[in-house]
């Protein structure tokens, strides 16, 4: 997947299950519009998909690295010329067969974070939004750009999603103590609320031999 230009240029997801339930008897179009709105208004994709699934999700680090220096004027939205951490995560269902539920890319300014959060980012696969929330930090997220497209064009396979389903790509800038700390791009297919004990299974007509790419 080619990252959009706004990724490099320079409120909490609560009640998602209840909100989606309100359109349970409405049209698919209404449910889709509400889902896009929920994604846009959420602080992060981790909390959103956990709310909709009713259970925790896992996280797999696909790629990472560090940009030590960015030529002026640098990353305008993050107000920095570096260093920044680059992370690529795949969030997975906690129930077998542990299918992917979302993808997240981020550019993070580590020296604006508490030391324990920066250390956790460098050494593990935990999503940034979870690290911030678990420590009770007063962080916010500002939506930057929202795009939609067919799931067939996703950066990774989502075998539980029926062919023809659409997904949302949401860019956000995260702030801590009024300072920008990260630029995040999340990719998540349409997901309706589910029973917490109901696993995500490959949908009929999909390639069950899914793979990450």
Number of other residues whose CB lies within 10 A of the CB of residue 88: 18
Distance CA 22, CA 17 (A): 9
Looking at residue 3, what is its pLDDT?
A: 44
pLDDT in tens, 59-76: 999 999 999 999 999 999
Which domain range does residue 110 map to? 5-189
Residue 206 in any domain: the answer is: no
Full-model pTM: 0.84
User: So what's the pLDDT on residue 27?
Assistant: 73
pLDDT, position 17: 52
- Rounded average pLDDT over 21-31: 65
Residues linked to residue 61 through DSSP beta bridges, in sequence order: 89
d(CA 58, CA 142): 24
**What percentage of the chain has pLDDT greater than the value 70?**
84
Residue 176 belongs to some domain of the structure = yes
**Domain for residue 104, yes or no?**
yes
Whether 207 maps to a domain, the answer reads no
CATH of the domain at 92: 3.40.1410.10
Q: If residue 168 lies in a helix (H) or strand (E), which one and from where to where?
A: strand 166-176
Q: Does residue 146 form part of some domain?
A: yes
- Give the pLDDT band (50/70/90) at residue 8: very low
pLDDT > 90 fraction of the chain, expressed in percent and rounded: 82
66-118 pLDDT, tens digit each: 999 999 999 999 999 999 999 999 999 999 999 999 999 999 999 999 999 99
The total domain count for the chain is: 1
Secondary structure class of 146 (helix, strand, coil): strand
- On whether residue 202 sits in a domain, the answer given is no
> Nearest-CA neighbor of 210 among 55, 54, 90?
90
Residue 203 has pLDDT above 80, yes or no: yes
At 156 the three-state DSSP class reads coil
Residue 201 has pLDDT above 70, yes or no: yes
| pLDDT average, residue stretch 123-148 | 96
Task: Answer yes or no: is pLDDT of 188 > 80.
Answer: yes
Distances (CA, A) of 55 to 42, 68, 96, 128: 17, 37, 13, 18
pLDDT for res 16: 56
């Amino acid at each position: 997947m080619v990252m959009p230009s706004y990724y490099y240029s320079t409120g909490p997801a609560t009640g998602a299950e209840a909100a989606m339930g309100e359109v349970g008897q409405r049209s698919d179009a209404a449910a889709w519009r509400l889902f896009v709105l929920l994604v846009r208004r959420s602080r992060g994709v981790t909390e959103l998909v956990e709310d909709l699934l009713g259970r925790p999700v896992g996280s797999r680090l696909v790629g990472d690295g560090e940009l030590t220096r960015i030529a002026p004027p640098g990353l305008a939205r993050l107000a920095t010329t570096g260093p920044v951490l680059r992370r690529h995560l795949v969030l997975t269902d906690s129930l077998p067969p542990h299918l992917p539920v979302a993808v997240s890319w981020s550019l993070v300014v580590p020296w604006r974070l508490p030391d324990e959060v920066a250390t956790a980012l460098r050494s593990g696969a935990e999503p940034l939004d979870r690290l911030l929330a678990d420590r009770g930090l007063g962080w916010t997220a500002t939506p930057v750009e929202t795009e939609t497209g067919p799931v067939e064009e996703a950066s990774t396979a989502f075998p539980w999603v029926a062919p023809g389903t659409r997904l949302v790509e949401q860019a956000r800038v995260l702030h801590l103590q009024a300072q920008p700390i990260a630029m995040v791009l999340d990719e998540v297919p349409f997901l309706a609320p589910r029973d917490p004990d109901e696993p995500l299974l490959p949908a009929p007509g999909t390639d069950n031999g899914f793979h990450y790419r």
